[in-house]
Amino acid sequence: MKNVLITGGNGGIGNAIAMAFYNEGYRVFITYNKNTQNIKNKNICAIKCDVTDEKAVSDMVLELDKFGGVDVLINNAGVAQIKMLCDTTQADFDKLFDVNMRGVYNVTKAIMKNMVHKKYGKIINISSMWGVTGASCEVLYSASKSAVIGFTKALAKELGPSGINVNCIAPGVIDTPMNKDLDSDTIKELCEQTPIGRIGEPQDIANAALFLASDKASFITGQILCVDGGITV
Ligand code: NDP
């Protein structure tokens, strides 16, 4: 049985990914930071871990090593913010980069040691379409998600010889709590701008993650898979 770790597995997208992998027969571990209300499946092991905290991450990895380590890592935990750049603060910068980039760095660095040892692993980072195209009023968020793309491409080169695939999913607008503040007019506009004609569901991202984790994607590495209904085309 393969082990998968999904950071932020209690969130909208993370929860769908966790359920999809569980249904495929994986042993599923998720992390959460504050909220536990979305964790409903008792067969999924939930570990409290702030991904910005290096010590908390290394404690979590010690726990996971007892189960043979992680075969598939999905760096999904993230925070967003909508603000004009001129209104942002140092604290905003720190928060967005700490969770969205340092979190990916902390967890990946700690987990990959065991993958390198086994010469097998799949690392899937959840970036954003805004990391690809940039979004007005989300400059810091876009920059932090672009950083994840650079991290993915570089690490794919470093870890390819160790049998580890590193890829990225760049979701479009997905119906999760992260977008709870978008009003219905904005959602309608986004649907109109999207060739497929709708916003995404968490399951759309889970399906892409399952594919990238599968042996069907064994020759794919360093890639950014845009799962966005064609909005960035
Ligand atoms: P949610 O807000 O539903 O989930 C975010 C998750 O991140 C939660 O599980 C949260 O845990 C976790 N998290 C936040 N801060 C930390 C931290 N310091 N340490 C550990 N976990 C943390 O958002 P989504 O499911 O929508 O987003 C998931 C990912 O997808 C994010 O990386 C996001 O940027 C990306 N994305 C989302 C899009 C969308 O339209 N929804 C579009 C493009 C990308 P807790 O609740 O316990 O705080």
Q: How far is the CA of 129 from the centre of ligand 1 (A)?
A: 15
CATH number (3.60.150.10, 3.40.50.300, 3.40.50.720, 3.30.70.2190) of 3-227 reads 3.40.50.720
Ligand 1 neighbours, Cβ below 6 Å, are 7-8, 10-14, 31-35, 50-52, 76-80, 99, 103, 126, 128, 171, 173-174, 176-179
Q: How far is the CA of 179 from the centre of ligand 1 (A)?
A: 11
Domain boundaries, the chain: 3-227
pLDDT score, position 41: 83
| pLDDT by residue, tens only, the chain of 233 residues | 999 999 999 999 999 999 999 999 999 999 999 988 777 788 999 999 999 999 999 999 999 999 999 999 999 999 999 999 999 999 999 999 999 999 999 999 999 999 999 999 999 999 999 999 999 999 999 999 999 999 999 999 999 999 999 999 999 999 998 898 899 999 999 999 999 999 999 999 999 999 999 999 999 999 999 999 999 99
3-state secondary structure of 8: coil
Provide the whole-model pTM. Answer: 0.98
Residue nearest to atom 10 of ligand 1 (CA): 8
32 classed as catalytic: no
pLDDT score, position 40: 77
User: Are the C-beta atoms of residues 13 and 200 closer than 8 Å to each other?
Assistant: no
Give the separation between CA 64 and CA 54, rounded to whole angstroms: 15
DSSP state of 217: G
Give the separation between CA 215 and CA 48, rounded to whole angstroms: 30
pLDDT score, position 39: 75
What number does the ligand 1 atom closest to the CA of 9 have? 9
Q: Distances in Å between the alpha carbon of 75 and those of 111, 112, 169, 218?
A: 11, 12, 10, 19
3-state secondary structure of 155: helix
